[in-house]
A and B are shown apart, each in its own frame.
Chain A
Amino acid sequence: MREFGYQRAYDVSGAVALLDGDGEARFLGGGTNLVDLMKTGVERPARLVDVRELPLNRVEPAEDGGLRIGATVTNSDLAAHLEVRRRYPALAQAVLAGASGQLRNMATVGGNLLQRTRCGYFADVTSPCNKRDPGSGCPAITGEHHNHAVLGASGHCVATHPSDMGVALAAFDASVSYETADGAGKLPLADFYLPVGETPHLETALPPGALITGVTLPPTATAANSRYRKVRERASYAFAIGSVAAALDVRDGLVHDVRLAFGAVASRPWRARAAERALTGSPADAEHFAAAADAELAAARPLPHNGYKVTLMRNLVVAVLSELAEEAAR
C-alpha cells in the first residue's frame, strides 16, 4: 500500500482548492469503497482530501418543491429521513438494501454515486481490465460474467454499476450538483454516467477536480407509490444480481405515469425508458407489464452465462409493478 498524504477540508471551495485538480489525489467520503480499493492496490492515491466535515449533510426542500440531498449525508440518514420515506419510498428502500448497517453509517451520497464496479477482474490488480488499465483487455467477456451487464455494455467492458441508491435516483430523474474551481455545475443523472464504448475507464461526465455537492430530486407525485426490489445471492450484504426501482400511477385501470429503472444490468443505473413508453396509457396488468419489460429488454445482449438476467428482470418488473398496482387499487 502506497504511503499517502491526508488533508481535511471544512468548506466546499477549500476542498476543491485542496484537491487542486491533482490526478493523484482523491476526495475521501465515508471511505467504504475507496479505502478497500487502496488496500488491494486498485487505487493508489498520493493524497486524500477528506470531505466528511463539509457542511453538506442535510436533506432540505428544494425551491421547486423537490428535495435537495447534501453530498455528505450518510446512507443511514438518507434512508431514515421522513420526507424521503414518505415521498420517495423506493429511494429509502434502495439505500437500506445496500451494504450493512455499519457501512451505511459511513457511506455518503456523493461517494455512493462514484463507487466503482465490483467486477472481480477489476478488483484483482494481477488481472487485465480495461477499466483499471485501459487497453489491457476484458477477461470477463470470455471468462466469469454471471453478474455482468446485459444492457449497454461494449466489447471493452461488461462491468455493472453496483449502486442500489443510484437506481432509485435514476427512476426519479435526479440531478447531481458539483463544484469546480470555475464554479458550480449540474448534471442530470441520465447524463452523469458516460456510455461504456471504448473508454470504460472514463465513468462520469464530472469535470476534472469536481466535487459532488449534492443530489436534487424533482417533485413527482408518482414517486410516493414506489418500490425497490433487489435480488442477490444471499439475503443480505451482497450486491444485486438484478434490481428494479419502480413508481406507478394508475388511473381508471390505465397507467397514467410509470418510472422504471434497473440495477446490476449495466455500467450505470439503467433508466428503462422504452418500458415506460410502452406502458404509459396501457392497462395496468401483468400482461402489459411483461410486454413493457420485453420492450426494454429487447436491447439486451447477454453473454453465455448471464442470460438469466433477462428472465430475472422481466419477472421482477412484473412482480414489482403488480404489487404497486395492487396497492394503488386498495
Chain B
Amino acid sequence: MTTATRGAVGTAHPRVEGRDKVTGAARYAGEIPFAELAHGWLVLSTVARGRIRALDTDAVLAMPGVLTVLHHHNAPRVDTDYTGMMGSPPDPTVGLFQHDRVPHMGWPVALVVAETSEQAREAAEALVVHYDREPHDVAFSAGREAEAYALDGHMPAVVEKGDLEAGLAASAVVVDAEYTTPEEHHNPMEPHAAAARWDGGRLEVVDSNQGTGWVAGELASLFSLDPASVRVRSEHVGGGFGSKGVRAHQVAAVMAATVLQRPVRVVMTRRQMFSLAGHRSPTAQRVRLGADADGRLLALEHRSLNQTSAFYDFVEPSAASSRSMYAADAHHTASRLVKLDVPTPTWMRAPGEASGSFALESALDELAERCGIDPIELRVRNEPEVGPVSGLPFGSRNLIPCFREGARRFGWDGRDPRPGVRREGRWLLGTGTAAASFPTLAMPSTAALTAEADGTFTVRINAADIGTGARTALTLVAADVLEVPADRVRVRIGDSDLGAASIAGGSAGTRSWGWAVTAAAQELRRSLPPGADIPPEGVTVRSNTAEALGALAQKERHAYGAQFAEVAVDPATGEVRVRRMLGLFAAGRIVNPLTARNQFVGGMIWGISMALHEEAVRDRASGGLYGADLAGYHVAAHADIPHIEADWVDDPDPDDPVGIKGIGEVGIVGAAAAVANAVWHATGVRHRDLPIRPDRVLLAGGDA
C-alpha cells in the first residue's frame, strides 16, 4: 500500500475477518471449546396450551452421560420483573422453567444436560412429559380485528390527522384494498448457541447475538447479578436479522452452568428455532387511498393487524412506516394486535416496513392504474415537503432521484402500462416498481481508541458484526479520520467488557458506532500532534455520543430506495420467476461499497423470497407449525435469483454529524411490492396475499 491515506470511507474493502471465515479459523459460539464442557438440550412442549402434569425424569437421568434434567420444579429461580435495555420488560419466554404453564407449542419445558451433545439429545427426546391440555387458538385472520387492541410498540400505534371520510368522499379515485402477509421466520444460517461458565465468581457467556451488552444486562437482571460480574462475548455471528437478543438458550446455559458448576453449551436445532427464535407476525392490512383525478392524495388510511403471544405484546407496526411516505391532508394509520396461543413475534428485518410497504406500495400501484398515471410519476406528485404527519423537516430525502436514476438504468421509460400483453413462449412478462424507506436511527455508544507505540491503532467498541461487515466498516471509518491506511487499524468488538454501545439493530449499528469511532479519532488527532512520542502503553482516548445524540435536531431522517423488478409468469402452471431486479438507494454516506452492496442485494433477495416463497403454516389443530424446517419453509434458492443490481445515489446531509445512514433493512422494503406489481403488469391480476404461490396464480387466472 502506498501512502494514500485519505478516502478509506467509500472505497471497497474486503472483510477484515474474511480470510478467517473462509478458512474456518473464525470460531462461532457453538464450536468454541471449553475444558469440561457439558451439553444441554432443550425439550419443547408438544401441546399448544395447558399445564405440565409430570415429567418422567428418572428414566432419563439413568441414561448414559446424563448429568441433570432442569425443569420447573428444580431450576434456579429468575427475576423477570425488570425493564431491559430496549425499554421493555423481557419476553416471559426467557423466564425459563419457572412454572407449569404452557402458552404455546414449542414452549421450553426442560433442559437435559449430558456429557456429549448426542447423549443430551437422545435423552431429551426420550423424556416423557405429561400435560393437561387446554383448548388453544392460533387462527389469525383479518376477521379478528374486532377483538384486537391498539398498543404502542417501537412506533405509536395510532396516528390520525385530518378528516379521513371527508377526504375519501371528496376523492375522484378511491383504492380500498386488503392485503395479507404470512408468518415469516428469520432462521439465520448459524443457529442460536451459547456456552456459559463461572470463572472466579464471574459469569462468562460465549454467545451468538446482536449486542453483548444487551444480553449481559438481561442475564444480570434475570439472575440478580451485579452487571459488572457478567461478561458476554460474541465475536462472529452467522446472521441475526432481529432474532438474536436474549433467548431461551442463554438462560438455559447459565442455569445449567450454575447448577453443575461446569461450562454448559446449549444450541438450538433448526426446528427449535421456529419456536424459540421469534418470527415476523402475519399481518392483515387495509389501505384506503383517495386521490384527485391527477393522482394527488387527499386521504391515506393504512390499518394493520398482527398477532402476538398470549403473554407478551409485540407490535409489527406495518402501518407506521406510511406516516413519512406520502403527503395527504387526511392521514390515518393504526397498528393493532390480537393475542393468540403462539410464540411472541419479534423484530425481523425491517419490522413493520417490510410488511407495511407491501400493502402501501401495492396500493399506490393500484392507484396509478386507476388514474392512468405512471407509478413513478404518481410518487413524484405525492412527494411531501415536510413529514406528512409530523410536520418536521426532512433530513436528506432523495427518493425521487432513486426513481429517476433507477428508471433510466432499468429501462422504465416507454413502458407500456397495459397489463397482460407481453408474451414470450409460455411466459407473460411484466415490470413493477415500489418505494423503500427505513428510519435513520442511532443509539448512544462509547468507543476507545489507542494510538499504539508501533504506529498502529486499536479501536475498542462493543459493536456486533452479525455478517454485515461492521468490523470492516469501523476499520475504514477510523482509518479515514486518522488518515492512515486501513491495515494499521485493528478493531475489537463483540465483548460486553468493552463498554456500552448500540446493538446491531434498527439499521443503527454502523451509524451509531461510526459516530463514536469518529469522535474518538477526532479527539485523538486533537490530543496527539503529528510526530508526538507514543509511550509503550500507547495513548488512549475515549468517546461517548450520548450528548451529541441528544443534541440532534428533530427531523424526519430516513434512508430511501426505489425497487424495480421484471417477472415472468406462466399462467398455465402458476410459476412466477423474477428475471431481473434493480434497487437504487439513497442511504447517506456509503462506508464500504463492497459490503453495502451485499446488504442491499441481500435485502432484495429476501424481498423476492417474501414475495414468492416464504410462509410459515400454522396447523390449527395442533397449534404448531407445519414443516418447520428449511425443506418445508421455502426461501429463494440460487436458481430463483436472477441478475440483481444494487446501487446508490448521492445522499449528502450537511446537517447530519455522521452522514452515515442504516443500510441493513431498507433493501427488503418495497421489494415484495415491486415483484407483486410486476406480476400484475404481467398478468392483469392483483395478488394481495403473500406469498404469490403457484396455486394462487393458477386459480386467479390471467388475461391470457
| A143 near B620: Cβ-Cβ < 8 Å | yes
Q: How large is the interface on A (under 10, 10 to 19, 20 to 34, 35 or more residues)?
A: 35 or more
Contact of B634 among A118, A120, A123, A233 (CB under 8 A): A233
Stretch from B117-125, B143-151, B441-449, B680-688 contacting the other chain: B117-125
Q: Which residues of A contact B125 (CB under 8 A)?
A: 1, 41
| A241 near B695: Cβ-Cβ < 8 Å | yes
| B640 near A231: Cβ-Cβ < 8 Å | no
5 contacts between A and B (CB under 8 A): A120-B627, A120-B632, A143-B619, A233-B612, A233-B693
Q: Which residues of A contact B84 (CB under 8 A)?
A: none
Q: Which residues of A contact B408 (CB under 8 A)?
A: none
Q: Which residues of A contact B121 (CB under 8 A)?
A: 1
B577 at the interface (CB under 8 A from A): yes
Complex Cα distance, B46 from A121, in Å, reads 13
In the assembled complex, the CB of A79 is this many whole angstroms from the nearest CB of chain B, namely 17
Q: Which residues of A contact B619 (CB under 8 A)?
A: 127, 139, 143-144
Contact A315-B621, Cβ < 8 Å, known A233-B693, A236-B638: no
Q: Which residues of A contact B574 (CB under 8 A)?
A: 231, 308, 312
Q: Which residues of B contact A299 (CB under 8 A)?
A: none
| A312 near B631: Cβ-Cβ < 8 Å | no
Contact of A234 among B612, B622, B626 (CB under 8 A): B612
Nearest B residue to A39 by beta-carbon distance? Answer: B269
A11 at the interface (CB under 8 A from B): no
Contact A238-B573, Cβ < 8 Å, known A120-B626, A142-B621, A312-B694: no
In the assembled complex, the CB of A233 is this many whole angstroms from the nearest CB of chain B, namely 6
Q: Which residues of B contact A3 (CB under 8 A)?
A: 118, 122
Interface positions, chain B 292-343, Cβ under 8 Å from A, are: none
Q: Which residues of B contact A318 (CB under 8 A)?
A: 572
Complex Cα distance, B626 from A148, in Å, reads 13
In the assembled complex, the CB of B659 is this many whole angstroms from the nearest CB of chain A, namely 39
B699 at the interface (CB under 8 A from A): yes
Complex Cα distance, B372 from A149, in Å, reads 44
| A237 near B572: Cβ-Cβ < 8 Å | no
Complex Cα distance, B574 from A319, in Å, reads 13
Given contacts A241-B695, A308-B699, 15 further A-B contacts (CB under 8 A): A2-B122, A124-B626, A126-B624, A127-B624, A142-B621, A233-B613, A233-B634, A236-B638, A237-B637, A238-B637, A241-B694, A308-B695, A312-B694, A315-B573, A315-B698
Complex Cα distance, B640 from A306, in Å, reads 24
Nearest A residue to B271 by beta-carbon distance? Answer: A40
Q: Which residues of A contact B139 (CB under 8 A)?
A: none
Q: Which residues of B contact A241 (CB under 8 A)?
A: 694-695
Closest 7 CB pairs of A and B: A120-B627, A236-B639, A235-B639, A308-B695, A315-B572, A144-B626, A126-B46
Complex Cα distance, B624 from A232, in Å, reads 24
| A1 near B695: Cβ-Cβ < 8 Å | no
Complex Cα distance, B693 from A306, in Å, reads 12
Interface positions, chain B 78-94, Cβ under 8 Å from A, are: none
Q: Which residues of A contact B694 (CB under 8 A)?
A: 231-233, 241, 308, 312
In the assembled complex, the CB of A310 is this many whole angstroms from the nearest CB of chain B, namely 10
In the assembled complex, the CB of A217 is this many whole angstroms from the nearest CB of chain B, namely 28
A186 at the interface (CB under 8 A from B): no
B374 at the interface (CB under 8 A from A): no
A16 at the interface (CB under 8 A from B): no
Q: Which residues of A contact B629 (CB under 8 A)?
A: 40, 123
Complex Cα distance, B526 from A120, in Å, reads 63
Chain A CB count within 10 A is highest, among B572, B612, B626, B640, for: B626
Q: Which residues of A contact B632 (CB under 8 A)?
A: 118, 120, 123
In the assembled complex, the CB of B209 is this many whole angstroms from the nearest CB of chain A, namely 26
The interface residues of chain A, by DSSP majority, are classed as loop
Interface positions, chain B 559-580, Cβ under 8 Å from A, are: 572-575, 577
Nearest B residue to A126 by beta-carbon distance? Answer: B46
Complex Cα distance, B617 from A3, in Å, reads 33
Interface positions, chain B 266-288, Cβ under 8 Å from A, are: 271
Q: Which residues of A contact B636 (CB under 8 A)?
A: 234
Complex Cα distance, B620 from A139, in Å, reads 10
B628 at the interface (CB under 8 A from A): yes
In the assembled complex, the CB of B464 is this many whole angstroms from the nearest CB of chain A, namely 30
Complex Cα distance, B624 from A143, in Å, reads 11
| A234 near B627: Cβ-Cβ < 8 Å | no
Contact of A235 among B122, B572, B573, B640 (CB under 8 A): B640
B130 at the interface (CB under 8 A from A): no
A311 at the interface (CB under 8 A from B): yes
| B637 near A319: Cβ-Cβ < 8 Å | no
Q: Which residues of B contact A121 (CB under 8 A)?
A: 626
Nearest A residue to B701 by beta-carbon distance? Answer: A311
A316 at the interface (CB under 8 A from B): yes
Q: Which residues of B contact A306 (CB under 8 A)?
A: 695
B19 at the interface (CB under 8 A from A): no
In the assembled complex, the CB of A316 is this many whole angstroms from the nearest CB of chain B, namely 7
A146 at the interface (CB under 8 A from B): yes
Complex Cα distance, B122 from A3, in Å, reads 9
| A231 near B622: Cβ-Cβ < 8 Å | no
Complex Cα distance, B619 from A142, in Å, reads 10
Interface positions, chain A 278-330, Cβ under 8 Å from B, are: 306, 308, 311-312, 315-316, 318-319
Q: Which residues of A contact B624 (CB under 8 A)?
A: 124, 126-127
B6 at the interface (CB under 8 A from A): no
In the assembled complex, the CB of A224 is this many whole angstroms from the nearest CB of chain B, namely 24
In the assembled complex, the CB of A107 is this many whole angstroms from the nearest CB of chain B, namely 15
B21 at the interface (CB under 8 A from A): no
Complex Cα distance, B118 from A170, in Å, reads 41
Complex Cα distance, B300 from A257, in Å, reads 62
Q: Which residues of A contact B555 (CB under 8 A)?
A: none
| B637 near A139: Cβ-Cβ < 8 Å | no
- The proximity string for B residues 662-704 relative to A, scoring 1 for CB distances below 8 Å and 0 otherwise, is 0000000000000000000000000000000111001100000
Complex Cα distance, B575 from A316, in Å, reads 12
Nearest A residue to B619 by beta-carbon distance? Answer: A143
| A234 near B639: Cβ-Cβ < 8 Å | yes
Nearest A residue to B64 by beta-carbon distance? Answer: A3
In the assembled complex, the CB of A246 is this many whole angstroms from the nearest CB of chain B, namely 15
| A236 near B637: Cβ-Cβ < 8 Å | yes
B426 at the interface (CB under 8 A from A): yes
Q: Which residues of A contact B699 (CB under 8 A)?
A: 308, 311
Q: Which residues of A contact B637 (CB under 8 A)?
A: 234-238
- The proximity string for B residues 634-656 relative to A, scoring 1 for CB distances below 8 Å and 0 otherwise, is 10111110000000000000000
In the assembled complex, the CB of B130 is this many whole angstroms from the nearest CB of chain A, namely 14
Q: Which residues of A contact B693 (CB under 8 A)?
A: 146, 233
Q: Which residues of B contact A308 (CB under 8 A)?
A: 574, 694-695, 698-699
Nearest A residue to B608 by beta-carbon distance? Answer: A234
Interface positions, chain A 146-199, Cβ under 8 Å from B, are: 146
In the assembled complex, the CB of A232 is this many whole angstroms from the nearest CB of chain B, namely 8
Interface positions, chain B 121-173, Cβ under 8 Å from A, are: 121-122, 125
| B627 near A123: Cβ-Cβ < 8 Å | yes
Q: Which residues of B contact A142 (CB under 8 A)?
A: 621
| B695 near A146: Cβ-Cβ < 8 Å | yes
Complex Cα distance, B613 from A144, in Å, reads 16
| B573 near A234: Cβ-Cβ < 8 Å | no
Complex Cα distance, B694 from A241, in Å, reads 9
Complex Cα distance, B601 from A165, in Å, reads 35
Q: Which residues of B contact A127 (CB under 8 A)?
A: 619, 622, 624
In the assembled complex, the CB of B581 is this many whole angstroms from the nearest CB of chain A, namely 14
Complex Cα distance, B695 from A127, in Å, reads 26
| A235 near B577: Cβ-Cβ < 8 Å | yes
Contact of A144 among B46, B572, B617, B631 (CB under 8 A): B617
In the assembled complex, the CB of B614 is this many whole angstroms from the nearest CB of chain A, namely 10
| B639 near A237: Cβ-Cβ < 8 Å | yes
Q: Which residues of B contact A124 (CB under 8 A)?
A: 624, 626-628
Complex Cα distance, B617 from A236, in Å, reads 21
In the assembled complex, the CB of A40 is this many whole angstroms from the nearest CB of chain B, namely 8
Q: Which residues of B contact A232 (CB under 8 A)?
A: 694
- The proximity string for A residues 1-18 relative to B, scoring 1 for CB distances below 8 Å and 0 otherwise, is 111000000000000000
